[in-house]
Structure 1
């Protein structure tokens, strides 16, 4: 059985039946059988399906947002925006997929030589709870448009949301032999990676789980795309537009109650403005409200699970014991649910828990720096490499940051975000491979050379 918990109240939600290993194998076989027909379906017809999926997502936007609020605590207004962004992703690949997969002529000793991009087969997507609609679409839309069939294994925290999402595909006209929801516990999902008809794996989740899945996929010589954790640095120089920068930094750190891989987590502030920034962030953090995600007046909902809150609080308390100061938050609230307050840690140093580890919650770590060179060295002093950002008006500083920051994404005077038009992914313990953009649709294809005498 799949047993989710309402993180707002701590109460158990209605159980859902889970598939046995043999039943899961049957689902994969059904979708793998469907690949033979789906791969030869004209790409324009695949695009029409994705347009219909986008329409159906918008029709079910309120219900999907309410399901996310119930199962993982996402504020309704954020859930509505997530579904809208997911619909955009479907439309983006429907419009541009054919262009991204067009054969490319390469000159050789042949009369005609070119590269084409046929699909691989059935792709297994193993996805987390923190953005259950968006993270599914950024896997499903490009993979389906390329001609693969897809099996979606969602996190056990969000079983109803996953079912409702795949039902949107069916309501839009997708055959059950093309896309399927694999409602299984994690132990069964691990077995499915080895299914001989699963040809590739897409995984979004923790670095620890990613290492296990990567090793298992590699043992079967199956390609994988891994989007894992992050400890994203942000550099704030004295010449930046401070009000705009601090608004965006606060937004980035607090989206989804801080449960975002690409949120700002470590903020490096030029010393001349350090106290000013700490004061301004204190005001912003104190103005945030956390509570029931169904109440649109609240900025933050709960964390998704009790163990996640316990882990976050350990990181905060250990950092304080190591000499950091807490200006806002940092204490477990009373009452039901898995809430954690917006927390501002300052005077951070390397070696502290909240500096070295990924903090998956509404906690921002702030540190003073004396130069851009020092900031860049500290920003790169991490095993992660997902996103990074810098705020400055100096083109020299921008050029240096773009050359030296070690991450999959760099934002200059803006927020690190995922966008269907641009590739997303990381390096190091943040994973490998890319989702989204023209690069994302080519992850699960055969880069096939054709040589004609």
Structure 2
């Protein structure tokens, strides 16, 4: 695996991929470790998860610099990612025991009936490059606290992050085999899922990758959780605070250089405030600092790869050819590296890429709608269903509109986010299952009915 810095095109390092023998050894270690780890007291497992959070905090700058080098995230956002990983460790170190308390049920006299939560065993996690620490830790912290063991197949362009994460858990004192990294390509995933020692799988990534994992797991009757792409609507109603919505929307569209599944992507604006929002939004986009992701003032860094940049530009060109108007941006940046200009498209016609596809770069599509009903209809005119955001001065109205939008999570007067305290996941082409909170830790457990007469 060649590790390439997308901001410069320079090779960082080259990693040897694991052989078939390496994979077999890892699976054997995972199976052995699972038998011991599941029997450890949950308070002990919580302490190890808490220790992982401490390791992250002690090495925040080192890990942030690694993220920035491997996939181009601006350094301030990379530090925030590490801090969020530490927070999810704190959350499950504090709440895992409560989340996994047995649930009682009505029962006949003399009987005690409960649902108890027991770990499944080794779980394969297939993770993406865009949040190379966070995506892993939001799976690993609850899964490990619940008594499972983890095998990480990370994206091939962040091998350094993959190995660093394994080092975090080793430094946190986890026994050998409880968390392991497999440096393998996508072609190895199917065989790992089919292995009898692997009991479940989770994937965050593209729809094709999710479909492939789900198909293999389905054939072998194994539990899966999938968090896939999104084309999240950002609805601005006629009574919204336009300035606040524009500022938040610009941040929500360009966070991580636009490479986020839950980024605001389709801006759906009531006609009464359309021009005011468009102008304020474009002003916010144009004010962003694009450049070297290692500099503190940078807001938007490079795309994670040249291929990703090319895909984004092809989608923009196809949308413009179909009739969309470029208000700002619309081209790769005239600089070294995989940089794309923050872009705003208006007059977006139905059926073009900016209308129907996930734009995984700093490109916003802005739509004008005549009323609230049309805004809801446009928000739901997608096969995706990850997140949604609505902006209004009326909280009750916001609640009503949010309830009407087809998404796994909906936010009023706030951009979509993932928070350890609340369940996270999507519907439709955005996947299924839930991560985080109690739902997340119970995703990979056996919900066993225990009837004692």
Q: TM-score w.r.t. structure 2 length?
A: 0.98
1:368-387 aligned at under 5 Å gives the runs 368-387=368-387
CA contact 1:349–1:367 (8 Å) conserved in 2 = no
2: CA distance, partners of 1:290 / 1:217 = 41
Secondary structure of the corresponding residue to residue 445 of structure 2: coil
CA contact 1:386–1:425 (8 Å) conserved in 2 = yes
2: CA distance, partners of 1:191 / 1:111 = 44
Secondary structure of the corresponding residue to residue 446 of structure 2: coil
Secondary structure of the corresponding residue to residue 388 of structure 1: strand
1:336 deviation in Å? 2.1
Change (3 A) 1:399 1:62: closer
Change (3 A) 1:402 1:280: closer
1:165-199 deviation line (CA, Å, top 9, x unaligned): 11011011112221111111221233211111000
Shift >3 Å, 4+ stretches: none
Count of aligned residue pairs for this structure pair: 452
1:4-23 aligned at under 5 Å gives the runs 4-23=3-22
CA contact 2:388–2:402 (8 Å) conserved in 1 = no
Secondary structure of the corresponding residue to residue 25 of structure 2: helix
1:396 deviation in Å? 5.0
1:85-164 aligned at under 5 Å gives the runs 85-109=84-108, 111-164=111-164
Q: What's the counterpart of residue 405 of structure 1?
A: 405
Q: What's the counterpart of residue 393 of structure 2?
A: 393
Do residues 178 (structure 1) and 178 (structure 2) align? yes
1: CA distance, partners of 2:426 / 2:183 = 28
1:20 deviation in Å? 1.1
Instruction: Single out whichever of 377-386 and 5-14 deviates more from structure 2.
Output: 5-14
1:410-439 deviation line (CA, Å, top 9, x unaligned): 000111000000111000100000000111
Instruction: Single out whichever of 286-295 and 226-235 deviates more from structure 2.
Output: 286-295
CA contact 1:268–1:366 (8 Å) conserved in 2 = yes
Stretches of structure 2 that go unaligned for 5 or more consecutive residues are: none
Secondary structure of the corresponding residue to residue 4 of structure 1: strand
Q: TM-score w.r.t. structure 1 length?
A: 0.98
Secondary structure of the corresponding residue to residue 234 of structure 1: strand
1:161 deviation in Å? 1.1
Secondary structure of the corresponding residue to residue 5 of structure 2: coil
Indicate the RMSD between aligned Cα atoms, in angstroms.
1.1
Secondary structure of the corresponding residue to residue 420 of structure 2: coil
Secondary structure of the corresponding residue to residue 90 of structure 2: helix
1:349 deviation in Å? 3.0
Q: What's the counterpart of residue 274 of structure 2?
A: 274
1:70-104 deviation line (CA, Å, top 9, x unaligned): 11001111110000000010110010000000001
1:395 deviation in Å? 4.3
1: CA distance, partners of 2:12 / 2:132 = 17
1:180-329 aligned at under 5 Å gives the runs 180-329=180-329
Secondary structure of the corresponding residue to residue 444 of structure 2: coil
